[in-house]
Amino acid sequence: MEVESNIVDDRGTDQAQAQEILRSFCENGFEGDEDRAGLVLGRPPEELRDMIDGDVDVDDDLVMKVRSIADERGIELD
């Protein structure tokens, strides 16, 4: 699936950037374990995988939550 460049949030984050933020959050904060990341984010791991793969759009609420939790826990987002 081709990534659309629609803007996700007020920072101008597009879908490609949102996917990278989510991927980075899972990798750097949870050693790539989408099950654990999903628990923290309140989302099913399958949904996170679909978002990272570009099959489902990353929504603005999730991007804000990821950034907030990453900041709070010291998780580096590439």
**41-76: pLDDT as tens digits:** 999 999 999 999 999 999 999 999 999 999 999 999
Contact (CB, 8 A) for 8 and 60: yes
Task: Summarize the confidence of residues 6-35 as an average pLDDT.
Answer: 93
What integer pLDDT is reported at residue 5 of this predicted model? 57
Residues facing 22 on adjacent strands: none
Contact (CB, 8 A) for 61 and 55: no
Domain spans of the chain, in order of start = 15-73
> Tokens representing 68?
């907030």
Given a cut of 50, whether residue 4 has pLDDT beyond it is no
Task: Summarize the confidence of residues 6-22 as an average pLDDT.
Answer: 91
Helices marked H in 1-78 — which ranges? Answer: 15-30, 34-41, 45-53, 60-73
What integer pLDDT is reported at residue 8 of this predicted model? 84
